[in-house]
Amino acid sequence: GIQVEQSPPDLILQEGANSTLRCNFSDSVNNLQWFHQNPWGQLINLFYIPSGTKQNGRLSATTVATERYSLGYISSSQTTDSGVYFCAVSRYGQNFVFGPGTRLSVLP
Amino acid sequence: DTGVSQDPRHKITKRGQNVTFRCDPISEHNRLYWYRQTLGQGPEFLTYFQNEAQLEKSRLLSDRFSAERPKGSFSTLEIQRTEQGDSAMYLCASSLSGLAGSYNEQFFGPGTRLTVL
């Protein structure tokens, strides 16, 4: 099955800093999502981005499907950005595979 | 519709007891997924339904686990003879899938946290 890697595993930032999260996957996919899991366990949709670039406020993401990676960007980080960021991928008609996540801590 | 809902939010049970969780997807969504998440890990796929048909089951879904989605609406996940290793967050997601899974954005519920004593 598809393997998904995320880096870095842990990230500590000072409030206001920028960061880049990476998701690598081992095979071609046609679905890719980024999620933020808050401290209560809720998975919040950030982006549905099987290819291309999207932006939503301070967050953006880029997926280069041909090279099997996706990047997530957080600019001007805030303490409320803390939590775990997951990338999840699937191929046509198959189940989703999640990466191990990047745990982000934003310090005031 | 306010999103995917799950009930209960927390369940504490003794080893050997049976438990059942419910998931209500977003109403027009045709796919429904169950995942399990243990501490420090990403969610792991358990099973999914396309309407009322259960199309795929992970090998994580032992014969003590059973899931149903009667009439293609809500779904239930039952665990029989619970073990301490079943302690985890059980997450449900739904999606409106395009042809052959070509578009498939998932939306997650808040999860049911199971503790087996």
Q: pLDDT by residue (tens digit) across B47-95?
A: 999 999 998 899 888 899 999 999 889 999 999 999 999 999 999 999 9
pLDDT at B99 over 70: no
Q: Which residues contact A58 (CB under 8 A, 6 or more apart)?
A: A74, A75, A76, A77, A78
Whether B43 has its CB under 8 Å from any CB of chain A: the answer is: yes
Strands (E), chain B: 5-7, 10-13, 19-24, 31-37, 44-50, 53-57, 65-68, 75-79, 88-95, 107-108, 112-116
A chain contacts of residue B5, beta-carbon cutoff 8 Å: none
> What average pLDDT score do residues A40-50 get?
93
A chain contacts of residue B45, beta-carbon cutoff 8 Å: 95-97
pLDDT above 70 as % of chain B: 94
Question: Is there a contact between B93 and B112 (Cβ–Cβ < 8 Å)?
Answer: no
Query: Could you tell me where the DSSP H helices lie in chain A?
Result: none
Q: Which letter does DSSP use for residue B3 in this model? A: -
pLDDT at B102 over 80: no
Q: Which letter does DSSP use for residue B81 in this model? A: S
- State which residue of chain A sits closest to B88, comparing Cα positions: A41
pLDDT at A101 over 90: yes
Are B108 and A43 within 8 A, CB to CB? Answer: yes
The type of residue at B89 is M
The pLDDT value recorded for residue B68 is 95
The pLDDT value recorded for residue A105 is 96
The pLDDT value recorded for residue A94 is 77
Whether B107 has its CB under 8 Å from any CB of chain A: the answer is: yes
B chain contacts of residue A99, beta-carbon cutoff 8 Å: 42
The pLDDT value recorded for residue B60 is 83
Q: How far is B62 from chain A (nearest CA, A)?
A: 17
Nearest to B42 among A30, A90, A98 (CB): A98
pLDDT at B14 over 60: yes
Q: Which residues contact A99 (CB under 8 A, 6 or more apart)?
A: A4, A5, A6, A23, A86, A87, A88, B42
Q: Which residues contact B111 (CB under 8 A, 6 or more apart)?
A: A41, A42, B6, B9, B37, B89, B90, B91, B92
> What average pLDDT score do residues A43-54 get?
96
Whether A21 has its CB under 8 Å from any CB of chain B: the answer is: no
Which whole-number Å values give the CA distances from B81 to A26, A72, B62, B113, B116, in the listed order? 37, 42, 11, 17, 10
pLDDT at B20 over 70: yes
What phi and psi, each to the nearest 5 degrees, are found at residue A36? Answer: -115, 125
Longest dimension (CA), chain A: 43
Whether B41 has its CB under 8 Å from any CB of chain A: the answer is: yes
The pLDDT value recorded for residue A58 is 97
Q: Cα(A90)–Cα(B2) distance, rounded to whole angstroms?
A: 26
